[in-house]
Amino acid sequence: MRLARLELLQLLRTRSVPALLALFVTLSVLAVFAGNERVAQERAVMAEREPFLEEQAAHLTQKHARDLGLLLYYFALPTEHVPNAWTPLATGLRDVHPFSQHLRLLSLTPQTYASELGSPLRQLAGSFDYAFVVTFLLPLLVIALCFDVASRDEALGTALLLRSQATPRRHVIALRLAMRAGLAFAAAASSFALAIAITRLPLDLRALAWLGVLALYAAFWASLCGVIAAFKQSSQWSALIAIGTWMALCIVLPAAANGWLDGTRTQGGIALTLRQREILNAGWDKPKPITMEPFLRRRPEWASTPIPEHAFSWPWYYAMQEVADLAVEDELAAHRAEAERAERWTSRIASLLPPLAVQRALTRLAATDLEARLAQQDSVARHHERMKEFFYPAIYNDRKVAEVPFADVPRHSFTREPGAPRADELVGLLALSLFSAFAAAALARRFDLA
């Protein structure tokens, strides 16, 4: 106990330690504020929807008062991907995909892959968010505190003094390591507490689970430092190896994995949009019953709508739009399977790469991961269907514009509850932590050998 007190005193008296802890907490708080601000801006964009819809309805119903088909050609409904409470903490893929887009009644396929011009420079640099601070900087904090747990005695000249004590040296070092890792975790936990206060995150089991992930992550890096220390080399050597390991796990291996996944992907998306366009366009030259056939198989309720063979008609036009989507259903599914494959592989890689597992745990909570993106895509597709159900009766029964209640157009909103971190990915983190802890413990005997 006395030893513990002395060690703690020594630790806190080292000038750089409080400075490092304060720097870490400050950076996390700044990152949380940055995330909060981004989410607020996105909410502001999404809040433009109602005034837009009102203005649009007023304008279009007046301008195309006698042509419902033409009116609906222009009609757009902004979709929204509403952030959840955790979203400010992890931007994830949110700046890669549009969080709001103007959905039209036309063919869905080209609209599915619409993208933003955005700020690619920031995408290249990576976002400065809480997820970055935790994934990249928490390990550095642990390393900065722990890399010289053993070698500092040699550097300070206290090694002989320590060896003459009754307590085995490995116990002293284990105590020191635990204390330092605990301090790093305390910094991480308090910056999370501040994040909770800033973003008003609900205090539920998820917050507790996240604290668990933080503890595990800190423990992982601390036990790695233990293994490195057990080689009984100089402080410089330990620092270099530790930073090298950090670079490998946080930077090089994920980047290599990204390149590999990128390289193995077949680019089915472009091909399917090319084909969808061919089909949509060929419809203009086909006899109308051929175009209507797949449409009516899907929606037999409109079989009685008359379609003039030698003139343009809106019921035929919108059927043609839908038929083009139906024709590429298989390709769409294949492209989707491709994305799911990327997701599966990322998950597998995450169970071997702790930084990726931690990042994914947080993006799952924030619903800014690929799964959330795919769910958002599905939700937009479902909404497109709802729009059709809302407008088709008017189109196929040849209703007047005034008969369509534009104010009641179904609104789209997608939110995803924070998802609990995935156990299988964290099992990897746990296993790796335990493995390095055991390795450190096994190697620790060497400290008490002459």
Partner 1 sequence: MIWTVARQELLRAWRKRTFRVVLALVTLLLLSAFTLELLRQRGERQQREQLQAQVSEEWKQQPDRHPHRMAHYGSFAFRPPSALGFLDPGIEPFTGSSVYLEAHKRNPPNFSAAAESSELVRFGRLSAAFVLQLLLPLLIFCMTFDSIAGERESGTWALALAQGTAVRTLVFGKLLAALLALALWVLPVLVPAFLLQGFDVRSAILLLGYALYLSVCACIGVLVSALHTRSHAALASLLCVWVACWVVLPRVAGELAVRAHPVPARSSMEAELAHASHAKGNGHGRNSPEAIALTNSTLARYGAARVEDLPVNMNGMLSQLGEQHTSALYDDYYKRVYTQQRAQSATLLRWGALSPVLLMRTLSMAVAGSDSDRYADFLEQAEAHRFGFIKELNDVHAKHLRYEAHDNLQRASSANWQGFAPFVYRVPALHEQPTSWHHAFVALSAWFALALIGLATRREVRS
Interaction residues for partner 1, span 140-199 (CB under 8 A): 140, 155
- Residues 334-363 touching partner 1, rule: CB under 8 A, are 338-339, 342-343, 345-346, 349, 356, 359-360, 363
267 belongs to the binding site for partner 1 (CB under 8 A): yes
Beta carbon of residue 428, minimum distance to partner 1 (angstroms, whole number): 15
Site for partner 1 (CB under 8 A): which residue of 310, 407, 423, 449? 310
Instruction: Return the residue of 1, 9, 117, 205 that touches partner 1, per CB under 8 A.
Output: 117
Is 437 in a helix, a strand, or coil? helix
> To the nearest whole angstrom, how small is the minimum distance from the Cβ of residue 168 to partner 1?
26
Does 290 participate in binding partner 1 (rule CB under 8 A)? no
DSSP for 248-305 reads IIIIIHHHHHHHHHHHH---HHHHHHHHHHHHHHHGGGS-HHHHHHHHHHH-GGGTTS
Written as six digits, the tokens of 365 are 């909570």
When binding is defined by CB under 8 A, the residue of 198, 209, 240, 296 that contacts partner 1 is 240
Pick one of 186, 197, 204, 259: the residue that binds partner 1 (CB under 8 A).
Answer: 259
261 binds partner 1 (CB under 8 A): yes
The HSE-up count of residue 382 (CA atoms within 13 Å, CB side) is: 10
| Euclidean distance between CA atoms 87 and 327, whole angstroms | 37
Query: Smallest gap, in angstroms, from Cβ of residue 126 to partner 1?
Result: 5
Query: Which residue, 339 or 441, is less far from partner 1 as judged by CB?
Result: 339
Q: What is the helix (H) or strand (E) element at residue 46, kind and residue range?
A: helix 16-46
DSSP letter string, 342-385: HHHHHHHHHTT-HHHHHHHHHHHHHT-SHHHHHHHHHHHHHHHH
With CB under 8 A as the contact rule, the residue among 189, 211, 239, 434 that binds partner 1 is 239
17 binding partner 1? (CB under 8 A): no
Q: Which of 119, 158, 167, 397 binds partner 1 (CB under 8 A)?
A: 119
Binders of partner 1 among 92-111, rule CB under 8 A? 92-93, 96-102, 110
Using rule CB under 8 A, residue 71 touches partner 1: no
Which window, 69-77, 209-217, 221-229, 416-424, contacts partner 1 (CB under 8 A)?
Answer: 69-77
Spatial separation of the C-alpha atoms in residues 134 and 292, rounded to whole Å: 56
Element (H, E) at 103: strand 102-104
Q: How far apart are the first and last CA of the chain?
A: 26
Considering only residues 29-68, where is the footprint of partner 1 by CB under 8 A?
A: 30, 34, 37, 41-42, 45, 48, 52, 55-56, 59, 63
Q: Is 408 one of the binding residues for partner 1 (CB under 8 A)?
A: no
What H or E segment, with its residue span, contains residue 329? helix 329-350
- Angstrom distance (rounded) from CA 316 to CA 294: 12
Q: Is 70 exposed, middle or buried (0-12, 13-18, 19+ CB in 10 A)?
A: middle
